[in-house]
Amino acid sequence: MKKLIAAGAATLFVTIASAGASLAFEPGKTECIAPANAGGGWDFTCRQVGKTLYDLEIVPGPMQVTNLAGGGGGVAFAEVVSKRNDDDSLIVAASSSTTTRLAQGAFPGASMDQVRWLGTVGADYGVIAVAKDSPVETLPELFEQVKENPSSVSFAGGSAVGGWDHLKILVAAQAAGIEDVRSIKYVAFEGGGEAVTQLLGGHVQAFSGDISETKGFVDSGDLKVLAVLSDERLPGDDFARFPTAKEQGIDAVGANWRGFYAPGGMSDEAYDFWVDAVKTTYESDEWKEIMANNGLMPLAKFGDDFNTFVGEQIDATEKLSREIGILK
């Protein structure tokens, strides 16, 4: 009798275990939305992480990357919330630009609680650059031109007015002694790639972006980095050559986190899968090599920890936006 009971218990355990296994999320055709045109930081995040996920065999096939530009990320956010809220196979590239726009109420009716926050894959320090043939050689020299004639220098960035690329310039301008930062001319484009194209075409005089989206243009001989907005020079021969704003007497630091959110109606099983997928990618040797090659610095926030971090970022950005007059 005891043997029968034991056998029955074992069968029940196997059945429950099998049922649990069948309920676990298994990805099929996966997709990453980059909320900007090709060539910018969000596009970089989707494509590099998507490739790594496939290389590590975390997803069964190559991840589809969809560029959905508009509204500084607002078009993609609205698309996910209103039309793809329960898509378990979708992730969306996000960054400090995302939390900046949420903090400023730039996505009409949107809040961080409408989506699920997965995790980070590093921090991307801001840069201010000019075209390679520009006569400007230092960041103080650029801001001196702004002081003498604000209309003579237009800055281009891949985020909307008031977005992260814009805020970085204003923080640096304040540190350079420009009291009325509202005099700074900023032109918004849908992604860093488009902003660089406008710079190279002579339509603007300076570029505000992040090191990961800038490096390729530096390597091709198109851009000259005036300053990296980091406390110290970045590691690695490719990046240590770029001076910081601080060493030029401008005490400005700006790090752009990079990561992902998912639809708010995503199942718990899928959410757990994607949190683990992002964490596994971040901790892999493959991703560490990508970070080193593109100037990304360590930043590890996943799941609930990342959700708390996002809330704190939104609160801090809202405060900064009020201080510099973007929000009233």
Q: Could you report the per-residue pLDDT of 299-311, keeping only the tens digit for each? A: 999 999 999 999 9
Provide φ and ψ at 306, rounded to 5°.
-70, -40
Tell me the mean pLDDT in the region 188-213.
93
Handedness of CA 175, 177, 183, 189 (dihedral sign): negative
Of 327 and 282, the one with more pLDDT: 282
Helix residue ranges, H only, 135-184? 139-148, 164-175
- Residue 244 per-residue DSSP state: B
pLDDT of residue 23: 53
**Does pLDDT of 161 surpass 80?**
yes
Q: How far apart are CA 259 and CA 255, in angstroms?
A: 13
Q: Could you report the per-residue pLDDT of 251-265, keeping only the tens digit for each? A: 999 999 999 999 999
Three-state DSSP class for residue 147:
helix
pLDDT of residue 212: 87
Tell me the mean pLDDT in the region 151-175.
92
Three-state DSSP class for residue 284:
coil
Handedness of CA 101, 39, 155, 190 (dihedral sign): negative
Three-state DSSP class for residue 154:
strand
Instruction: Name all domains of the chain by residue range, CATH numbers in brackets.
Output: 23-124+257-323 (3.40.190.150), 125-255 (3.40.190.10)
The structure tokens listed for 6 are: 């034991």
pLDDT of residue 210: 92
**Does pLDDT of 272 surpass 50?**
yes
Q: How far apart are CA 222 and CA 146, in angstroms?
A: 23
Three-state DSSP class for residue 115:
strand
Average pLDDT, the chain: 91
pLDDT of residue 98: 95
Q: How many helices (H) and strands (E) does the chain have?
A: 12, 10
Residue for token pair 């959700």: 307
Residue for token pair 């992040």: 210
Q: How far apart are CA 112 and CA 246, in angstroms?
A: 33
Q: How far apart are CA 193 and CA 197, in angstroms?
A: 6
Please classify residue 108 by burial: count the beta carbons closer than 10 Å to its beta carbon, then call 0-12 exposed, 13-18 middle and 19+ buried: exposed
Q: How far apart are CA 96 and CA 126, in angstroms?
A: 11
Which pTM does this prediction carry? 0.81
Q: Could you report the per-residue pLDDT of 1-38, keeping only the tens digit for each? A: 444 444 444 444 333 333 333 458 999 999 999 999 99
pLDDT of residue 79: 98
**Do 93 and 258 form a contact (C-beta atoms < 8 A)?**
yes
**Do 294 and 212 form a contact (C-beta atoms < 8 A)?**
yes
Q: How far apart are CA 255 and CA 234, in angstroms?
A: 12
Tell me the mean pLDDT in the region 77-95.
98
The structure tokens listed for 260 are: 């992902």
Residue for token pair 């008031």: 162
Q: How far apart are CA 200 and CA 242, in angstroms?
A: 20
**Do 128 and 226 form a contact (C-beta atoms < 8 A)?**
yes
pLDDT of residue 219: 93
> Facing residues of 290 across strands?
none
Question: What percent of the chain lies above the pLDDT cut of 70?
Answer: 93
pLDDT of residue 2: 45
Three-state DSSP class for residue 116:
strand
Three-state DSSP class for residue 187:
strand
